[in-house]
Amino acid sequence: MELTANKFKANASRALVDAQLQKALGNVEKGFIGKRQMAADALPEFDALRDNARDIKNHVLAHLDLYLEEYERKVLAAGGHVHWAETAEDARRIVLEICKKANARTVTKGKSMITEEIALNDHLSANGIEPVETDLGEYIIQLRGEHPSHIIAPAVHLNKEQVEGDFRRVHTHLPAGRDLSEPVSLLSEAREVLRQRYFAADVGITGANFLIAETGTSVIVTNEGNGDLTQTLGKVHVVVASIEKIVPTLEDTSQILRVLARSATGQDMSVYTTFSTGPKRQEDPDGPDEYHVVLLDNGRSAMLGTEYQDMLRCIRCGACMNHCPVYHAVGGHAYGSVYPGPMGAVLTPSLNGIDETGQLPNASTFCGRCESVCPMRIPLPKMMRHWREREFERNLTPAVARYGLKAWAFFAKRPKLYRLAASFGMPLLSLFGGTSRRFRSLPFAGGWTRHRDLPAPEGRTFLQAWAQREALKQEAGQ
Amino acid sequence: MTSSEAKAVRQPRVGLFATCLVDLFRPSVGFASVKLLQDAGCEVHVPVAQTCCGQPAYNTGDRADTREIAEQVIEAFEGFDFIVAPSGSCASMLKKHYPGLFAGDAAWEERATAFSGKCHELISFLTDVMMVRDTGAALETKITYHDSCSGLRELGVKEQPRKLLGNVRGVEVREMTDSDVCCGFGGTFCVKYSDISNAIVTKKVGNIDTSGADMLLAGDLGCLMNMAGKLKRQGSDVEVRHVAEVLAGMTSQPPIAGSGK
Amino acid sequence: MSARDTVLGKIRASMRVPASDDVRRKTVADRLESTPTGVIPARAKLPKAGQVDLFCAMAEQFGATLARVSDYKAVPAEVATYLRSRNLPAEIRMGADKRLKKAGWEAEKNLEVRHGASDGGDLSGVSHAMAGIAETGTLALASGQDNPTTINFLPEHHIVVLKASDIKGDMESVWAMLRKAQGKGEMPRAFNLITGPSRSGDIEQTILLGAHGPRALHVIVVE
């Protein structure tokens, strides 16, 4: 997708006046927050599991090279293939080669953010191979030519009437008079249409929630079962996964699984958690003939050993965006990048560079709700602040903000001068406040007064008034 | 050291970090804080060398200026037994963020860590350190309380103000929906991303309205000015005050941004 | 240099890995060998009978229907009853699992039993689970001739038979079972953990059952 992260402000302003979008965004708060809380409350060990999940991933990151080697060894032993991709371009090329070798005309896809990151669909289409998204949300946005607005609920920005419109536009082989007024009828129609596609597909492509070093296994976690049909019915199964998806053992996987679904959808477990190890075996009546894993770096190895390393613990549950007031206000597309919300505000600059994405880590009130719900305890606000520091160091911070800040800091670092300026300025400002005690507009304060009144100051500053009171007390005492 | 031990030895010496917004916009909160602290048995000092905690610079990525300001604050305040601020976000800046600014500079880091250990947000200081249960205030009104983000999530301030408010004679607490969700202030955020901030505060003001309260309280003046400004722009009659004003029984000043009329 | 060496080299450079990293290698080998268990929810630590009850309660909570029968001989009748009660044709698809085979399907004269992997044309499939996980009401199924994976996903109704004695409190106990059956570090080609029927919340976050997998999941626990 085209990166428009630095048009965030304009994107957001458009989103704020998009009535359809605003209606749909209500579902984010309704659909996720209460359920997550209930699931977390029902498990007394939830926070201890979060700690352990964090520790497991930290351990993995400290030994990532060795676990990757072990993982690769086990995949090969199970008859699978491992392909290493340094960049998105490398990964696209590798996947295309596998598809071409399989003489693929169509490929089915399970829901995968990593294939969004490498823009795989466009690449396959450009090379004459039709990618078919099978997750309901992904299918809907594919019909619309859009990108996911949320990492686990890709079509959360849409209302059912919009989906109905798309199905009628595309599924022209079905009777025009059919009733699609209820979500369940939309679901049934997608199920029927996609069923054919699984069987017709030559290759099935999925992502992975985990890659287990102990067994050489890729794990996908889904609710619909589309990922499973994708990887079971295709002749070739291709897993595209980034290098930090590694976990050491089955036990470690269990620890993280216990916080994943609870944090994401508020389920204790997602419906399907599927462990895949290699291709179809001799006695197997089903499964793919070939099993490939594409291990993608795409900038992640450079995050190791930096202040952004903790971001590599992310398990893509979406809790941060589900709880983000900024995300609630503008939705995922406004971020103009593959990964929206707080996790995107940290990850996107790592993947695409801060020059092109500087708005994202700035678009946060630092309310900290993302960090408070993150199952992997990723300090998201702290890392957004680090990005702001990188911007400031490199003079990427907008000039107005920079000079304003420098002027303010000049005074803040000189208490006497500051006191002097304040003791003149605030009483004057107070005077202008009149009887209403507020300003409807004020020069230089348009950013504030465009949407709200500015409370007038009381008059003298506190330190002025305090000094006077203390002086009076002293006089009275003497 | 428990509060009774503290008193037995001597009155704890508290440095009041008024915060720049209280200093400039609402001295009443400063005086209310002084009263609450003195009533709790503290000896209160207000060092003149205070300006701001440095958050505007810190959150803009300007670490050099932040550190200079932090050094200034530490120098002015480290001599006190406790440093108290009537703001969750400024207190958290002092308590949680200052030490990190000095990483790699052992001497300053140690100094900042010792300093941060003595820093508190006003209301939680009263309840958790000075063991205050009842401030003796009375006010006939229905209030609703907004949990400001830094106080809530970085310092765990949630029950403390509610406990004290529950003991203010005549006060009825009406919890709003999503009291723990950001009001959209976010320091410079509300100016940099004015439209988004507006969407967030509009939602917040809706929840305040639905609560049926006559008065909105919170522990951070930035959030209060944001919410008051929006309430007034919408013509609301809800009065907005810092929680310290009510707890100190000091509500004779007009509310923040004036009355509804 | 191969892409593999490049990526691994970049990781090592970022992590400033020392040239001789025997300590790290040993740490990794030890963890893979010892497979430490971490935090196990207290709710999973129950006596056997309690585990079975918890499994049943959780499975129902997450949308499965449930029947408990005394032995395998009662399974065909339970399957037939299920199909009748849902107005389904008396046809099932089933793998080669011996426990299922021996259940005596000939007793249900009208029931047509098809064997092997599903081709998508079956309304109802029957599988035998390897284990149940009480803490979340989850079924664990291993792929192979006995229980082809396609039966787990293609039919509209998935009926899963589970031995009560194979119900474990937690996920970790199932890994222990699996290691015993397959050997350490080995897995069946596909290992499916299934918790309730297929569902989607992708349209307006309204949860609907029967997305791409089975619309209904019926569990038969054999005591």
Across all residues in chain A, what is the average pLDDT? 96
Contacts of residue B176, defined as CB under 8 A and 6 or more positions apart, other chains included, come to B144, B146, B207, B208, B210, B211, B213
More confident residue, A42 or A29: A42
Continuous segment of H or E residues that includes residue C221: strand C216-222
Q: How does residue B62 score in pLDDT terms, banded at 50, 70 and 90?
A: very high
Q: How does residue B225 score in pLDDT terms, banded at 50, 70 and 90?
A: very high
pLDDT computed for residue B4 by the predictor: 53
Q: What proportion of chain C, given as a percentage, has pLDDT over 90?
A: 96
Identify the bridge partners of residue B225 per DSSP, sorted by sequence position: none
From the CB coordinates, do chains C and B have 3 or more pairs under 8 Å?
Answer: no
Strands lying side by side in the sheet with B138-146: B169-173, B138-146, B215-218, B239-242
Q: Which of A251, A255, A306 to mutate to test the interface with C (most CBs of C within 10 A)?
A: A251
* pLDDT per position as a tens digit, A72-119: 999 999 999 999 999 999 999 999 999 999 999 999 999 999 999 999
d(Cα A106, Cα A125) in Å, to the nearest integer? 9
Q: How does residue C48 score in pLDDT terms, banded at 50, 70 and 90?
A: confident
pLDDT computed for residue B3 by the predictor: 53
How big is the A-C interface in CB pairs under 8 Å? 275
Is A298:A351 a contact under the CB 8 Å cutoff? yes
pLDDT above 80: residue B41:
yes
Contacts of residue B202, defined as CB under 8 A and 6 or more positions apart, other chains included, come to B230
* pLDDT per position as a tens digit, A431-474: 888 888 999 988 778 889 999 999 999 999 999 999 999 999 88
| A367 vs B: CB within 8 A | yes
R_g (Cα) of chain B, nearest Å? 18
pLDDT above 90: residue B19:
yes
Q: How does residue B8 score in pLDDT terms, banded at 50, 70 and 90?
A: low
DSSP conformation class of C63: T
pLDDT computed for residue C134 by the predictor: 97
Mention the CATH class of domain C44-222: alpha beta
Q: Cα–Cα–Cα angle for A234, A239, A243, nearest 5°?
A: 180
* pLDDT per position as a tens digit, A309-357: 999 999 999 999 999 999 999 999 999 999 999 999 999 999 999 999 9
Residue ranges of domains in chain C: 1-34, 44-222
How much of chain C is helix, strand and coil, in % rounded to 5? 40, 25, 40
Residue C184, SS3 per DSSP:
coil
pLDDT computed for residue B259 by the predictor: 77
Taking contacts as CB-CB distances below 8 angstroms, the residues of chain C near A322 are: none
Q: Which domains does chain B have, with CATH numbers?
A: 3-128 (3.40.50), 133-247 (3.40.50.11810)
Alpha-helical runs (H) found in A174-278: 183-200, 226-233, 250-264
* pLDDT per position as a tens digit, C130-162: 999 999 999 999 999 999 999 999 999 999 999
Contact assignment for B27 to A454 by CB distance below 8 Å: no
Burial zone of A230 (CB within 10 Å; 0-12 exposed, 13-18 middle, 19+ buried):
buried
The minimum CA-CA distance between C64 and chain A, rounded to whole Å, is 11
The minimum CA-CA distance between A168 and chain C, rounded to whole Å, is 16
| A9 vs B: CB within 8 A | yes
Burial zone of A331 (CB within 10 Å; 0-12 exposed, 13-18 middle, 19+ buried):
buried
d(Cα C82, Cα C63) in Å, to the nearest integer? 16
* pLDDT per position as a tens digit, B144-162: 999 999 999 999 999 999 9
| C160 vs A: CB within 8 A | no
pLDDT computed for residue A478 by the predictor: 62
Taking contacts as CB-CB distances below 8 angstroms, the residues of chain A near C187 are: 78, 215-217, 275, 277
Q: How does residue C20 score in pLDDT terms, banded at 50, 70 and 90?
A: confident
Taking contacts as CB-CB distances below 8 angstroms, the residues of chain C near A65 are: 8, 11-12, 15, 17
pLDDT above 80: residue A135:
yes
pLDDT above 70: residue B127:
yes
Taking contacts as CB-CB distances below 8 angstroms, the residues of chain A near B22 are: 462
Chains touching chain B through at least 3 C-beta pairs below 8 angstroms are A
Q: How does residue B2 score in pLDDT terms, banded at 50, 70 and 90?
A: low
* pLDDT per position as a tens digit, C58-99: 999 999 999 999 999 999 999 999 999 999 999 999 999 999
The chain A residue lying nearest C192, using CA atoms, is A274
Q: What proportion of chain B, given as a percentage, has pLDDT over 70?
A: 96
Taking contacts as CB-CB distances below 8 angstroms, the residues of chain C near A158 are: 203
* pLDDT per position as a tens digit, A236-282: 999 999 999 999 999 999 999 999 999 999 999 999 999 999 999 99
pLDDT computed for residue B9 by the predictor: 64
pLDDT above 70: residue B260:
no
Task: Work out the average pLDDT over A204-221.
Answer: 98
Give the nearest partner residue to A369 out of B26, B182, B194, using CB atoms.
B182
Q: Which domains does chain A have, with CATH numbers?
A: 43-302 (3.40.50.10420), 318-397 (no CATH), 400-477 (no CATH)
Q: How does residue B5 score in pLDDT terms, banded at 50, 70 and 90?
A: low
pLDDT above 90: residue B10:
no
The chain C residue lying nearest A137, using CA atoms, is C202
Q: How does residue A45 score in pLDDT terms, banded at 50, 70 and 90?
A: very high
| A16 vs B: CB within 8 A | yes
pLDDT computed for residue B193 by the predictor: 95
Residue type, C38: G
